[in-house]
Amino acid sequence: MSLKGKTAIITGSNSGIGLGIAWEMARAGAHVVLNSFTDNDEDHALAEKIAKETGTEAKYIQADMSKGDQCRALIEKAGVCDILVNNAGIQHVAPIDQFPVAKWDAIIAINLTSAFHTTAVALPMMRKAGWGRVVNIASAHGLTASPFKSAYVSAKHGLVGMTKVVALETAEEPITANAICPGYVLTPLVEAQIPDTMKEYKMSREEVIRNVLLERQPSKQFATVEQLGGVVEFLCSSAADQITGTTISVDGGWTAL
C-alpha cells in the first residue's frame, strides 16, 4: 500500500524496533520523523539516509521522552502527524522490594506517560486532517507478566489500556488506535546480550537463543523489525479501518500459552 502524503512520527526510533518501523513507513511512501533523546550527527545522518534511499522526506527531532513538555514539543515541531507510533521504551529488572524508585519513575514516564503526551497533541492534528492512526508498541508483557519486571509490565499494561480509551474516544471518527505486542525481537540491543549470556550459561549461541532468550516464545524464532513495520503498515491501510482498540501479538505464540 502507499502512504504517500502521510507523515509518521515514531518515538525512540534511532535504533531497533523504532528504526525498523521508520524504514518500513518510508518504503511505503510516508514522510517520517525520527526521534530519540540524543542529538548527534549520526541521528541526523540516519534521517538523511532514509530520505535518500526511499525518495521520501525524513528528519530527526531530538526530544527526551521522560519529559512531558518535550514529548509535546516533538509533535508540535513536526507540525503534522497522521501516524503516531509510540515506541520509546527502556527496561530494568529487579525484585519489587529492591526496585530503584528512579528506575520505576523513568520506565513509567518513557514507556507510558510519553504516549499520553504525544497522543494528546497529535489527535487534534489528525482530526483536522480527517484521518489518523495511533499505534502503540506495547509488548507481550502488556498482556502477561514476568517476575522482576514490575515497572515494565505495569507500563505496558497501562499502554494497552490507554490504547482502548483512545479508540473509544475516536470511535466515530476516521482515526484508529491499536497496540502491537511483540515478544522477543532481534534488535542490536538483544544481539549484544548474546555473547555474555553464552559465557554465563556456558551454552552455544543456538542454545542461548532457544533455551534462554526464547524460552517463553513457542516458535523459538525472533520477530523481526521488518515484520513489526509491516504490521504498522497494515494498520494504516483501509483494510484496518474497523480495527481499533485492540492488540496484535507478534510473539511466536507466547501469549497463547
Catalytic residue among 60, 152, 184, 201: 152
The predicted-structure confidence for 138-151, as pLDDT tens digits, reads as follows 999 999 999 999 99
**Percentage with pLDDT > 70 across the chain:** 100
Nearest alpha carbon to residue 120 among 143, 86, 89: 86
pTM above 0.85, yes or no: yes
Any idea what the Cα angle at residue 20 is, between residues 19 and 23, rounded to 5°?
85
User: Residue 188, Cβ neighbours under 10 Å: how many?
Assistant: 10
Residue 31 DSSP SS3: strand
HSE of 203 in the Cβ direction (CA atoms, 13 Å)?
Answer: 15
Is 152 labeled as catalytic in the residue annotation?
Answer: yes
Q: Round the average pLDDT of the chain to a whole number and report it.
A: 97
pLDDT at 239 over 80: yes
Nearest alpha carbon to residue 181 among 219, 144, 218: 144
Q: Rounded to whole angstroms, how far apart are CA atoms 152 and 147?
A: 11
Can you say how many angstroms the Cα of residue 251 is from the centroid of all Cα atoms in its chain?
14
What are the E-state strand segments in the chain? 7-10, 31-36, 58-62, 83-86, 132-137, 175-182, 247-250
- Return the pLDDT at 206: 95
Q: Rounded to whole angstroms, how far apart are CA atoms 257 and 104?
A: 28
HSE of 247 in the Cβ direction (CA atoms, 13 Å)?
Answer: 22
Residue ranges of domains in the chain = 7-185+223-256, 186-222
HSE of 246 in the Cβ direction (CA atoms, 13 Å)?
Answer: 8
- Return the pLDDT at 189: 84
pLDDT at 93 over 80: yes
Cell reading at 136: 502503540
Q: Which residues on neighbouring strands pair with residue 133, listed in sequence order? A: 83, 176
The CATH architecture assigned to 7-185+223-256 reads 3-Layer(aba) Sandwich (3.40)
The predicted-structure confidence for 54-71, as pLDDT tens digits, reads as follows 999 999 999 999 999 999
